Homo-oligomer: A and B are copies of this chain.
Amino acid sequence: MNKVVLAYSGGLDTSVIVPWLRENYGCEVVAFVADVGQGAEELEGVEAKAKASGASECHIVDLKDEFAANYIYPSLKTGAVYEQSYLLGTAMARPVIAKAQVELARKVNADALAHGCTGKGNDQIRFESCYAALAPDLTVIAPWREWDLSSRESLLDYLAERNIPCSASLKKIYSRDANAWHISHEGGELEDPWCEPSDEVWTLTCAPEQAPDRPEYVKVGIEQGAVVRVNGEALSPLQCLAQLNALGAKHGIGRVDIVENRLVGMKSRGCYETPGGTIMMHALRGIDELVLDKMTRSWKTQLSEQFAQLLYDGRWFTPNQASVLAAAESLSHVATGEVVIKLYKGNVTVTQKCSPYSLYSEAFATFGADNVYDQKHAAGFIRLYSLSSRIRALKQTDNV
Contact = CB atoms under 8 A, between A and B. Distances in A.
A119 B347 contact: no
Interface stretch (A18-26, A56-64, A221-229, A364-372): A364-372
B330 A326 contact: yes
A305 B134 CA distance: 31
A382 B299 contact: no
Given A353-B259, A391-B364, A385 B119 contact: no
Interface stretch (A3-11, A106-114, A288-296): A288-296
Interface residues of A, number: 134
A78 to B, nearest CB: 11
A61 B327 CA distance: 33
Interface of A: 83-84, 118-120, 124-125, 128-129, 132-137, 142, 144-145, 150-151, 187, 191-197, 208-209, 215, 255, 257-269, 285, 289-290, 292-303, 305-306, 309-310, 314-315, 317-320, 322-331, 333-334, 340, 342, 344-347, 349-354, 356-362, 364-369, 372-397, 399
Q: How many copies does the complex hold?
A: 4
Given A125-B382, A295-B315, A327-B326, A118 B375 contact: yes
Contacts of A151: 367
Given A359-B391, A362-B191, A369-B150, A264 B378 contact: yes
Nearest to A312: B294
Given A323-B296, A345-B347, A359 B258 contact: no
A368 B387 CA distance: 17
A50 B329 CA distance: 46
22 contacts: A125-B378, A136-B372, A136-B393, A136-B394, A193-B353, A193-B354, A196-B351, A260-B289, A261-B388, A265-B293, A266-B364, A293-B319, A293-B388, A295-B310, A295-B315, A323-B327, A326-B329, A356-B399, A359-B392, A372-B391, A373-B383, A376-B380
